């Protein structure tokens, strides 16, 4: 049965390792940063929400079960209180999730805030008893020898609950994820449960989800990787080109991680792992990466902004506005809208209007540029395809030819930019959470001032053409974004339970008999033990001679040799195993297991027509000899073994040979 206990009770007896190793790289739960406090508050809210959900479930069951009218009225009142409390708690959690300023850059410059994700919380799990029981039952090994390995795995899981918000924290999550690859195959068979449940809280709603599958644990760890990438990206100093490059890289890594979850994990019980939410997060991260690229282009061209650059900025801003429009459509979907903070919906809408206004502003700057009367043919071609064709556009000037047309079109774009910037400020004021984001308010205010200044600078006299709407800006981009999928090979780990044997053979889904010890003794040095082996890690009994010591000792074709003498050979190569057999002398002690899976009950076959005899050591690699060739045994006239012939071997029935006297032969065999 699974136990939830405090951390100090998890510690194994004192182990012979340095105390410095107790602190795992990438995690430091003792550091009380503002982000750590935010996670603690989110964790407490998750627990409160879980409590209210249990109360509501109990009240609903009582309401359905009772027939007492008065009791039903009382339960209905209690249900209303529980639902009210639950709604308040979810609003508090949404407010925490919208606390984007905690993850923003420490720069004092006014920059557009990004949307980072909070981490999923999980409870602590004690793996010791289930793992030790499974090792003893399934692998038939001393489970006490694996206490250190189990404790190391538990320490790693405990550390990954509080990862640092940097590359070391990402590395910690990757190492734990890669270790899950081995743990899943070692301890989680497909046909039974160990009683281990992985419980994680939804990062957006705080609702707990619980499953027995390791796939759920993997998906949640990957989600936290993506969340940390978003926090690292939002934390970059976007006033420098280096910071913008780092932000783009982290947002693309986050998008690649969420896409990987979407493509490889299905039917997740948690809403934040649902396909609609994940697709929205992928598009949101791509939009934020594109936003950083636009900011970098603006930063690099700030001192010398030519007409071509202004038109490029206009189309890039229009492309970004279209991306945020797509994100807003996804986030407004019925399956997503009720599960994300309202501030996210408002911020994506604000950004869509803001960058549409920026596109008109950049287009006006290029059209009204002092050198616009001497455009190059390339610039004229770009300007020709700058605007979209729309029936609702009242101003029919797409490619201005004269100064009056350029001024009219430029002022129309500036007026549209002013209208859109005012709409941004209105939407900003309507959202209670966004009203407190001072950096966002400063960005919107500065953009409105710049557009207003440019508009008034071109004003000469009243003209009714100023009331006409300009054509839209054609979205276009020169940046091709490529998602960065998780690179699991970058963080290689060692299987903590490697001594159980090669994972392809000794795994939870494979079955084999209990280990048995066979001791073979031969009377004459020139007499073989009567079996040959093939393969490595572990070596497999390829052939057992009829009537030999091995057959009467219980050695079976297809057995895995897991130990020779006192030495464990599950990882031994073929040459090492043969050398140990040769060095055993006249007495050979083998520990064998018989695979119960059909795939491993098939005997290995050599090349067609190859023939081999017993070697003096009784072992052979079963390599094919030339067709028709015969390898003679030194001083022995033993019968030949034809590898290509079908062997009538039944693992549950022993065929006794009459080639030797049974009484004399069994004296040389010791069964354990």
- Which CATH number does the domain housing residue 664 bear? 2.30.42.10
Cα distance from N-terminal residue to C-terminal residue, the chain? 34
Say if residue 339 is in the same domain as residue 437. Answer: yes
- In this structure, are 218 and 137 located in the same domain? yes
Token pair of 309 as six digits:
């650059």
Q: What is the 3-state secondary structure (H, E, C) of 235-296?
A: HCCCCCHHHHHHHHHHHHHHHHHHHHHHHHCCCCCCHHHCHHHHHHHHHHHHHHHHHHHHHH
pLDDT of residue 202: 86
Contact 508, 138 (CB under 8 A): yes
Give yes or no: residues 143 and 198 share one domain: yes
Residue 383 lies in a domain: yes
Are residue 666 and residue 582 in the same domain, yes or no? yes
- Domain match, 150 and 209 both: yes
CA-to-CA separations, 569 to 98, 544, 577, 589, 670, in angstroms, rounded? 57, 20, 7, 12, 21
Q: Tell me the per-residue pLDDT of 179-201, one tens digit each, with 9 for 90 and over.
A: 999 999 999 998 888 899 999 98
Q: Measure Cα distances from 443 to 75, 109, 233, 434 in Å.
A: 51, 9, 19, 13
In Å, how far from its chain's centre is CA 142?
A: 33
Assign residue 59 the CATH number of its domain: 1.25.40.280
User: Which domain-ending residue is among 457, 479, 501?
Assistant: 479
Q: Assess if residue 566 is contained within a domain.
A: yes
Closest CA to 100 of 350, 294, 359: 350
Under a CB-based contact definition with an 8 Å cutoff, are residues 669 and 552 in contact? yes
Question: Is there a single domain that holds both residue 475 and residue 540?
Answer: no
Rounded Cα–Cα distance for residues 204 and 276 (Å): 14
- The residues, any chain, with a CB within 8 Å of residue 249's CB and separated by 6 or more, are 233, 484
Q: Is residue 636 part of a domain?
A: yes
What are the CA-CA distances from residue 199 to residues 129, 170, 227, 270, 401 (Å)? 18, 21, 18, 10, 67
Is the separation of the CB atoms in 176 and 234 below 8 Å? no
Residues 469 and 522 in one domain: no
**Tens of pLDDT, residues 57-107:** 888 888 888 888 888 888 888 888 888 888 887 777 766 655 544 455 555
280 falls within a domain:
no
Instruction: Check residue 146 and report its DSSP letter.
Output: G
| 431 within a domain of the structure (yes/no) | yes
232 in the same domain as 307:
no
* Residues 451 and 524 occupy one common structural domain: no
Domain boundary residue, one of 455, 479, 503: 479
DSSP 8-state class, residue 138: I
User: Rounded to the nearest 5°, which phi and psi values hold at 564?
Assistant: -125, 115
From residue 659, alpha-carbon distances to 48, 546, 549 in Å are 78, 9, 12
618: left (phi over 0), alpha (psi -120 to 50) or beta: left
d(CA 556, CA 550): 8
The pTM of the whole model exceeds 0.85: no
* H runs (alpha helix) in 523-585: 549-553, 574-582
Same domain, 127 and 246: yes
> Closest by alpha carbon to 170, among 117, 123, 121, 231?
231
Same domain flag for 342 and 456: yes
Total tally of structural domains belonging to the chain: 3
| Calpha distance 175→155 (Å, rounded) | 12
Q: What share of the chain is helix, strand, coil (3-state, %, to 5)?
A: 50, 10, 40
The answer to whether residue 190 sits within a structural domain is: yes
Residue 122 gets which letter from DSSP? B
Give the range of the structural domain holding residue 371, as residue numbers without chain letter: 301-479
Count CB atoms within 10 A of the CB of residue 672: 9
Residue 289: inside a domain: no
Q: Does 109 share its domain with 235?
A: yes
Tell me what pLDDT residue 296 has: 94
Asked, for residue 294, whether it belongs to a domain, the answer is: no
Low-confidence ranges of the chain (pLDDT < 50): 1-21, 31-36, 100-102, 603-672
User: Helix or strand or coil: residue 366?
Assistant: helix
Cis peptide bond N-terminal to 312, omega within 30: no
């Amino acid at each position: 049965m699974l136990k939830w206990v405090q951390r100090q009770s998890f510690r194994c007896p004192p182990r012979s390792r340095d105390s410095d190793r107790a602190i795992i790289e990438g995690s430091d739960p003792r550091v009380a940063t503002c982000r750590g406090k935010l996670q603690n508050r989110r964790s407490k809210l998750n627990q409160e929400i879980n409590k209210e959900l249990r109360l509501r479930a109990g009240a609903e069951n009582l309401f359905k079960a009772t027939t007492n009218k008065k009791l039903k009225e009382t339960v209905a009142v209690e249900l209303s209180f529980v639902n009210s409390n639950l709604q308040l708690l979810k609003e508090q959690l949404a407010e925490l999730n919208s606390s984007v300023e905690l993850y923003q850059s420490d720069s004092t410059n006014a920059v557009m805030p990004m949307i980072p994700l909070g981490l999923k919380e999980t409870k602590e799990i004690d793996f010791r008893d289930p793992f030790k029981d499974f090792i003893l039952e399934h692998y038939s090994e001393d489970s006490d020898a694996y206490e250190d390995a189990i404790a190391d795995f538990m320490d790693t899981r405990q550390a990954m609950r509080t990862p640092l918000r940097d590359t070391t924290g990402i590395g910690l999550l990757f190492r734990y994820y890669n270790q899950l690859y081995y743990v899943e195959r070692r301890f989680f068979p497909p046909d039974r449960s160990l009683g281990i449940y992985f419980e994680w809280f939804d990062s957006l709603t705080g609702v707990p989800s619980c499953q027995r599958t390791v796939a759920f644990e993997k998906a949640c760890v990957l989600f936290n990787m993506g969340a940390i990438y978003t926090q690292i990206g939002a934390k970059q100093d976007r006033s420098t080109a280096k910071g913008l490059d780092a932000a783009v890289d982290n947002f693309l890594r986050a998008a690649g991680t969420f896409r990987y979850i979407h493509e490889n994990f299905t039917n997740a019980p948690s809403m934040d792992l649902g396909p609609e939410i994940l697709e929205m997060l992928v598009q949101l991260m791509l939009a934020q990466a594109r936003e950083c690229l636009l900011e970098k282009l603006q930063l690099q061209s700030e001192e010398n902004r030519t007409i071509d650059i202004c038109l490029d900025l206009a189309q890039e801003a229009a492309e970004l506005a279209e991306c945020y429009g797509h994100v807003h459509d996804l986030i407004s979907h019925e399956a997503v809208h009720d599960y994300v903070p309202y501030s996210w919906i408002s911020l994506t809408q604000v950004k869509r209007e803001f960058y549409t206004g920026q596109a008109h502003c950049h287009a006006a700057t290029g059209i009204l540029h002092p050198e616009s009367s001497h455009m190059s043919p390339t610039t004229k071609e770009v300007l020709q395809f700058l605007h979209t064709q729309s029936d609702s556009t009242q101003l029919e000037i797409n490619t201005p030819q004269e100064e009056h047309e350029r001024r009219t079109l430029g002022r129309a774009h500036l007026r549209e930019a002013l209208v859109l910037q005012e709409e941004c400020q209105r939407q900003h004021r309507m959202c209670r959470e966004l009203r407190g984001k001072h950096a966002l308010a400063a960005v919107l205010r500065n953009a409105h001032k710049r557009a207003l200044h440019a508009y008034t600078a071109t004003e000469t006299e009243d003209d009714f053409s100023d009331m006409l709407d300009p054509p839209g800006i054609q979205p276009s981009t020169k940046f091709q974004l490529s998602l960065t999928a998780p690179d699991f090979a970058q963080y290689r780990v060692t299987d903590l339970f490697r001594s159980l044997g090669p994972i392809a053979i000794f795994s939870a889904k494979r079955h084999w008999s209990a280990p048995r010890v066979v001791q073979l003794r031969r009377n004459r040095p020139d007499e073989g033990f009567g079996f040959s082996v093939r393969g490595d890690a572990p070596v497999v009994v390829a052939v057992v001679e009829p009537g030999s010591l091995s057959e009467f000792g219980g050695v079976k074709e297809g057995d895995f040799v897991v130990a020779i003498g006192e030495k464990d050979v599950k990882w031994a190569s073929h040459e090492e195993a043969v050398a140990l057999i040769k060095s055993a002398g006249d007495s050979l002690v083998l520990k064998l297991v018989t695979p119960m899976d059909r795939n491993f009950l098939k005997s290995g076959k050599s090349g067609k027509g190859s023939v081999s005899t017993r070697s003096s050591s009784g072992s052979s690699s079963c390599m094919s000899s030339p067709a028709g060739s015969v390898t003679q045994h030194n001083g022995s006239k033993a019968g030949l073994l034809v590898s290509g012939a079908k062997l009538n071997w039944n693992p549950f029935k022993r065929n006794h040979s009459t080639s030797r006297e049974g009484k004399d032969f069994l004296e040389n065999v010791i069964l354990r």
